[in-house]
Chains A and B, each alone.
Chain A
């Protein structure tokens, strides 16, 4: 297969970015999107060292930087905005689990970084997502010291509750929700953590404090408000439901009323 790739290039946080278009061919249908970018990068590096190309005036910007790691859809590192959709055209997958057979041969594919005021660009397609760490540091945990736990089976949790909690806990923290939201809201991310813990008895003692602190931190870091467009749910690679935002809202309101 072959493609034209229109890719966002930006040297660093301070410089202005622009699109560059590259042609790429001989891509296997079963290649993943990131494998295709690997091949593009090989090509770009070779162009940069090829004396003929350099003589022709080919000014390579060098390989394209992008975040990636596990390539199994679980680490949450990959984060590309492809043809106007977070993680591209396939549903419920991360960019690394997106395969070229989902694209039309010969088409032009636009690749951008996450665009959200909460995620400043570091270089090309790489953004800074430490804001998500900071939100979790505000309260996304249960305060238990190592060694102080009782026997695991002393806490009974119904099968259904555990499954629901797991649905929310599946969040990989990739940032697609905030990147896709027209308000740049991180509500689905916050809700996933709050809801996962609020559903379990272990999470109850700090539930009110947690919901308030995490929402406040999200606001402080410049993420927008939720207006229920549900775009986040559509683009979440792990299919996390906005039902968890409803639970977050309940937890948050209850916490406010009990003040």
Chain B
């Protein structure tokens, strides 16, 4: 079966691969496009831009989202910016440098060809977004402004205050609205995909639940695009939106799509620390803050103790008694090291006892220097809304005292395995954006998620899907009365009935919290063989507990948020297990995946290129069967693979 992992990377020089592939792809004539139907699941940056672009091309598109409007997808919460190799700053940026930074930032676990293409189309994304009327930040001369993000030494990040994701999503959503108005796209809000329908080995449709009425509905198409984001909520506490989930992707996995690198989860260094056990969601503070904010903890334990007792304020600690540990450990990049490195460094200080709040799990992010250097007005313009948000949540003003931050789960680099065309191992099924695995390797750089979502949705998928659809226009509309639809719908109904029938004693959230504890403890920032084995066993036991003792109130035929959560948790329990299994298999430290057994004497991540320079792609083998691991070797022809160095 390993032959399913054909990455379809075009031959030829790196910089010509995408052009070459595009020229090979068969076209579909306008009159045939009208006969072809495409389902897009998810309306974040990837899904909305893909659905809009496919609609513009003339395909019949159906687009689904779980929220009441496509505009609410979690891309909206991305704050800091979007990368593009424009070199508007004349700081010697280029497509190659963006490519290189992304591969290096991902700790050499992503595909050269995919990442190069991402960097290549990045500039066109900015052009597209400006044309849509996105109010990016401007210099006084009217030109676009840039800032820097972690893991890079140029300024290539475009931004709209601290709301870049919102603005980009509203742009894609506007394009989607344009197509809905034109009749090429039909929108199904408050619909959740609960199964993929595969006929003769090809993706032909989905089963979705109407979240308002509870009706189980069938939708057929010639191809299906999954754009449903990541699975970070397996940890319960994360920066993901409350409703973000991995279920659509997981159903694809269970129908035969391989799932790649599930253990690669990103832990973001700058989140507001956990404040108590009533919390269900963590809030991110944008990475852009690290442009001007300096991260530190006290040097003296005495000061730490006083801080925890509120006997002194952080601003009272003199300069020489502060440990700016990122600047100390990584002089070349300082506060702008990649996320995984910054997160581990924060954990290291807190584990050593220097955490600055009552829980001991917080470090400072300080703007005093920036306010002195730039003035209040400039800082307000750059970060005003983030400062306001921080103050609203914590009741403490970053203008007066430093912010307190701590790492939290933020993004998942792993996802459905796709080839160069973004097609999964199931023909006709595509995965884009965070839902696929392809571009970020072991760690994603800041401001690159927006770039990838829009690259996939605007410029890559609408082209590559044509190659598949060019063979399909003669096929009739998918018949949703086919036995495969019947069967899939029956299975969905059975799953729902089963959940209601349990009538147990535990709420969905309380079980989800238990899963979160296991995940954070054993599959979090520091992983060991022993811990991961324990995690697998504990998750299995918890899964059993869930299916025997969960309480799902109400009924199916109504708006029922507890049922929605229960269905998602059922999948998170399985996703969590696969994450642990993948982490156990990968006996190296790499990007966000840190195995305590594999580190340098200085405590840096130690990769094992000889044994693990591959994409792990897991194949589902059935309920209670062990999944099978397939390996896609990674070849680096254009980049010199080295140990990541952010020190000099």
Q: Which residues of A contact B (CB under 8 A)?
A: 11-12, 27-28, 30-32, 35, 38-39, 42, 45-46, 48-49, 60, 62-63, 65, 67-77, 90, 92-93, 97, 99, 101, 122-123, 126, 128-130, 132-133, 136-153, 155-159, 161-163, 165-166, 169-170, 172-173, 196-197, 200, 202-203
Contacts and interface: CB of A to CB of B under 8 A. Distances in A.
B392 A97 contact: yes
B366 to A, nearest CB: 22
A48 B416 CA distance: 39
A158 B69 contact: no
Given A137-B181, A170-B163, A150 B507 contact: no
A142 B174 contact: yes
Given A48-B553, A157-B138, A196-B133, A74 B77 contact: yes
B559 A65 contact: yes
Interface string B43-63: 000000100110010000000
A128 B68 contact: yes
Contact of B141 (A65, A129, A156, A170): A156
Contact of B562 (A60, A63, A158, A162): A63
A91 B638 CA distance: 54
B137 A162 contact: yes
B130 A75 contact: no
Contacts of B444: none
A206 B131 CA distance: 13
B71 A173 contact: yes
A162 B135 contact: yes
Contacts of B144: 152-153
A157 B72 contact: no
A93 B391 CA distance: 12
Given A45-B507, A137-B177, A140-B174, A70 B133 contact: no
Interface in B131-171: 131-144, 160-161, 163, 166-167, 170
Interface string B476-511: 000000000000000000000000000111010110
Interface in B406-441: none
Nearest to B170: A169
B281 A169 contact: no
B395 interface: yes
A146 B56 contact: yes
B65 to A, nearest CB: 11
B189 interface: yes
Contacts of A155: 130-131
A12 B557 CA distance: 11
A144 B131 contact: yes
Contacts of A137: 177-178, 180-181
B328 interface: no
B276 interface: yes
B174 A141 contact: yes
B71 A149 contact: no
Contacts of B129: 152
A153 B88 contact: yes
A149 B130 contact: yes
Contacts of B392: 73, 90, 93, 97, 99
Given A12-B558, A46-B507, A99-B392, A152 B130 contact: yes
B474 interface: no
Interface of B: 49, 52-53, 56, 67-72, 74, 76-77, 86, 88, 124, 126-144, 160-161, 163, 166-167, 170, 173-175, 177-178, 180-181, 187, 189, 212, 241-243, 275-276, 278-281, 283-284, 381, 388-389, 392-395, 458-459, 462, 503-505, 507, 509-510, 551, 553-554, 558-559, 561-562
B133 A197 contact: yes
Contact of B553 (A45, A90, A163): A45
Contacts of B52: 146
Given A42-B510, A146-B49, 7 more contacts: A27-B278, A31-B279, A42-B509, A69-B241, A146-B52, A147-B124, A147-B458
A75 B77 contact: yes
A145 B458 CA distance: 10
Given A141-B175, A162-B136, A69 B389 contact: no
Contact of A150 (B127, B132, B134): B127
A109 B269 CA distance: 37
B276 A149 contact: no
Contacts of B558: 11-12, 123
Contacts of A11: 558
A156 B278 contact: no
6 contacts: A31-B276, A45-B507, A69-B243, A73-B389, A75-B241, A156-B143
Contact of B166 (A74, A101, A142): A74
Given A65-B561, A159-B138, A77 B133 contact: no
Nearest to B126: A152
Contacts of A166: 135, 160-161, 163, 167
A245 B212 CA distance: 33
A158 B167 contact: no
Contacts of B212: 122, 128
B281 A71 contact: yes
Nearest to B66: A69
A113 B134 CA distance: 32
B551 A133 contact: no
A187 B551 CA distance: 44
A200 B135 contact: yes
A224 to B, nearest CB: 21
B280 A38 contact: yes
Contacts of B284: 72
A133 B554 contact: no
B389 A72 contact: yes
A39 B142 CA distance: 49
Contacts of A32: 393
| Residue with the highest number of chain A CB atoms closer than 10 Å, among B139, B212, B281, B284 | B281
A100 to B, nearest CB: 10
Contacts of A145: 56
Nearest to A198: B133
B139 A75 contact: no
Nearest to A133: B69
Nearest to A200: B133
A214 B2 CA distance: 54
B278 A35 contact: yes
A49 to B, nearest CB: 5
Nearest to A28: B276
Contacts of A196: 133, 135
B177 A141 contact: yes
A156 B389 contact: no
B177 A140 contact: yes
A150 B131 contact: yes
Contact of B503 (A38, A49, A157): A49
A169 B167 contact: yes
Contacts of A128: 68, 212
A149 B140 contact: no
A35 B72 contact: no
A146 B127 contact: no
